[in-house]
Amino acid sequence: MSFDYNKALGQNFLKDNNIIKKISESINPSNKDLIIEIGPGAGALTKELVKKEADVICFEIDKRLESILSKIKSDKLKIYFEDFLKINLKECINPKYEKLYFVGNLPYYITTAIINKIMDESNPYEITIMIQKEVALRFAANPHSRDYSSISVFLQYNFDIEKVCSVSKNCFEPIPKVDSMVIKLRRNKKYVSNNEELLYKLIKDSFRQKRKNLRNNLSNYDLEKIEKLLQEKNKSLKCRAEELSVEDFVFLSNNL
């Protein structure tokens, strides 16, 4: 395809049909559900999504792609040429749908912002995203690992994270500098927080300076109380945040 790719928009279009098929096959909605694709690009995945039973809505920021995407004919498809981060998602989603499936090839620099928007303005059942490999590993990282961070805890509190497939940089046009990975985030009901605002603040503060221990990072909290709670989990204020599991953070916030 002859196209002037926009680097500022992070445009790298997927061209590998095997990967497109793997992503499509990993999404299994019913005719009562809605698929929302973020950044369809030239529509390689969109063409597969419209074959499913669910309705499909796409948000594409680059209006130059209108002539290409308009060739995809389906009564189930609606395409909006708008910035996903600026639209009112609640107004775009009909409450008649039972489950919401989000899918997209996301530029790394807006990945977290997009996930936050999805969570703030909708109730996603599943989010299937292709992102930079090292970011995907950070999302799914376990405690005690180098990649484990506040975003790992935040996402794993809300979602089960599953790897769909790895994607070589050679599967894109133009070829980016790094490899990618497709991961699936599916809402879980594992943890119950009494106060999510406090939980998220505690997670953020605990990782504020990653190489410092909890005593340093949580100096503005009731350290005596936190120490007693940590002892119940066989831990102490000498621990770093990366040593605490999602369950540990929920336990702490629920008892502070």
State how far the Cα of 130 lies from the Cα of 120, in Å rounded to an integer.
21
Condensed to tens digits (0 to 9), the pLDDT of residues 134-160 reads 999 999 999 999 999 999 999 999 999
Quickly tell me which residue has 């916030």 as its tokens. Answer: 253
Quickly tell me which residue has 């004919």 as its tokens. Answer: 73
Who's near 91: CB < 8 A, 6+ residues apart?
A: none
**Could you give the 3-state DSSP secondary structure of residue 126?**
strand
In the predicted structure, residue 254 carries a pLDDT above the cut 80: yes
**What is the H or E stretch that residue 159 is in?**
strand 159-167
- Please report, in angstroms and rounded to a whole number, the separation of the first and last CA atoms in the chain: 57
Between 173 and 47, the higher pLDDT residue: 47
In the chain, where are the structural domains located? 7-187, 196-255
Give the model's confidence band at 12: pLDDT under 50 very low, under 70 low, under 90 confident, else very high: confident
- Answer for the pair 196, 190: CB distance below 8 angstroms, yes or no: no
Give residue 107's pLDDT: 84
CATH of domain 196-255: 1.10.8.100
Condensed to tens digits (0 to 9), the pLDDT of residues 100-120 reads 999 999 888 899 999 999 999
In the predicted structure, residue 176 carries a pLDDT above the cut 60: yes
Residue 234's Cβ-count burial label (10 Å; 0-12, 13-18, 19+) is exposed
State how far the Cα of 226 lies from the Cα of 11, in Å rounded to an integer.
46
In the predicted structure, residue 92 carries a pLDDT above the cut 70: yes
Give the model's confidence band at 174: pLDDT under 50 very low, under 70 low, under 90 confident, else very high: confident
Who's near 11: CB < 8 A, 6+ residues apart?
A: 5, 41, 62
Give residue 253's pLDDT: 97
In the predicted structure, residue 124 carries a pLDDT above the cut 70: yes
- Answer for the pair 21, 182: CB distance below 8 angstroms, yes or no: no
Condensed to tens digits (0 to 9), the pLDDT of residues 40-81 reads 999 999 999 999 999 999 999 999 899 999 999 999 999 999
Condensed to tens digits (0 to 9), the pLDDT of residues 212-224 reads 999 999 999 999 9
Q: State the Rg of the chain over Cα.
A: 20
Domain 7-187: give its CATH superfamily: Vaccinia Virus protein VP39 (3.40.50.150)
Q: What is the mean pLDDT of residues 175-183?
A: 92
Give residue 3's pLDDT: 56
Q: What percent of the chain has pLDDT over 70?
A: 96
- Answer for the pair 176, 12: CB distance below 8 angstroms, yes or no: yes
Phi-psi region of 226 (alpha: psi -120 to 50; beta: other; left: phi over 0): alpha
Give the model's confidence band at 11: pLDDT under 50 very low, under 70 low, under 90 confident, else very high: low
In the predicted structure, residue 4 carries a pLDDT above the cut 80: no
Q: Tell me, what amino acid is at 185?
A: L
